[in-house]
Structure 1
């Protein structure tokens, strides 16, 4: 691997130093609502304000490693149960009053996440309904540019469940189709048409795999709802589109 020794003639002092952090938009579904993990900052800047969890990237870390570490520290769960991906980089010169700080933001989601434990620089941590934070005028204002990050992360998740099978990652296995449909309702803010949704899911090879039991443990084919597990498919073609603003009916699900 290349070393950290600067090449001859290179003057690092010509460039002002800056720090690099990771911020995390961590989503789960609680009581049927899409929720995001927020921490109340225990130190300046923005002491007492709510913010996304995150922290500085250590000298021996890359951004992905730092994000995974912060995720474990903030939730106490193994990253094997998460979907974690990089969102984008936020680099406005004045986004942090301490110094020039560039954030490599990530989003994560997983099913049944527990009550969180606050990290080193947080006084308290809790789950908030995403709709409450972004749409309620009385909701707390987020520190730094974290409202922008949260808005972008929400749009990424909404889009991802349109053209991928990642909605299943919000559920513990096995699950019913009604539970899977409720994920779309929580993420999009409205439920898809039941019949069209079921036809789409069951007609997509590898979207879900039938389990051999129903919800009460009896064999599939009993009057009780059937159970499913995640399939191997990752993409939906055609996509399962969200309703457009002003739509009176759910459209755009493609052929089923």
Structure 2
């Protein structure tokens, strides 16, 4: 008889809150890993596709129905000992969004990723894979704007890159690169003083799917390439 192996979906939902890259996690209230932080997840239903399961879990388990979260499939995890109770295959999804409100679900919280050193199951490994995917996508795609409000300044976008990459970037070089990347940013015609100082132009995300040239994190010397 062919064994039936449950399939779950786990969500790595990341945002920038209080100047820190944070993940949406929940405190387990049952064994195993009692009181450990865990990613939002659940088993897929027999009649639903994986993307549908990811959005259902985002709404029901993560407590973010209708939230403007960019979701994409991250990776599949299926090694035998990842769950001590039974063999479970997990399909992880990465979710990126601007500063989201606190979840209404009990035990849920936004926690800075640097504070999540011990998590249930293999969820820290999954989270770290999601963080690296997010960092890489900021190099080659305009997904950095997914962490920003619909209209944002270049300084706000730069701060997203600095927080996600964990390094300081030169403001002038960053401004030059993002404004010259074809189709990355579109001027709204408005300005704001919320950054402090002189009014700064407001932009929105452009239509391109890939950045030319890319926003590389570091040159071969280890110094920021921006």
Q: Which moved more, 1:58-67 or 1:102-111?
A: 58-67
Within the candidate set 214, 226, 230, 2:201 is matched to: 226
TM-score, scaled relative to structure 1: 0.82
TM-score, scaled relative to structure 2: 0.93
Within the candidate set 84, 98, 122, 1:111 is matched to: 98
Q: Which whole-Å CA distance do the structure 1 matches of 2:174 and 2:187 have between them?
A: 16
Match of 1:213 in 2: 190
Q: CA RMSD in A?
A: 1.9
Within the candidate set 76, 79, 87, 2:64 is matched to: 76
Q: Which whole-Å CA distance do the structure 2 matches of 1:107 and 1:115 have between them?
A: 18
Match of 2:115 in 1: 132
Q: Paired residues, what number?
A: 223
CA contact (8 A) 2:181 2:213 kept: no
Q: Which whole-Å CA distance do the structure 1 matches of 2:79 and 2:37 have between them?
A: 20
Once the two structures are superposed, the pairs formed by residues 1-256 of structure 1 within 5 Å of their partners are 14-73=1-60, 74-79=62-67, 81-118=68-105, 124-133=107-116, 139=117, 141-215=118-192, 223-243=198-218, 247=222, 249-251=223-225, 253=226
Q: Secondary structure at the match of 2:107?
A: strand
Q: Compared with structure 1, are the counterparts of its residues 78 and 242 closer, same or farther at alpha carbon in structure 2 (3 Å cutoff)? A: same
Gaps of 5+ in 1: 1-13, 134-138
Runs of 4+ in structure 1 displaced over 3 angstroms?
none
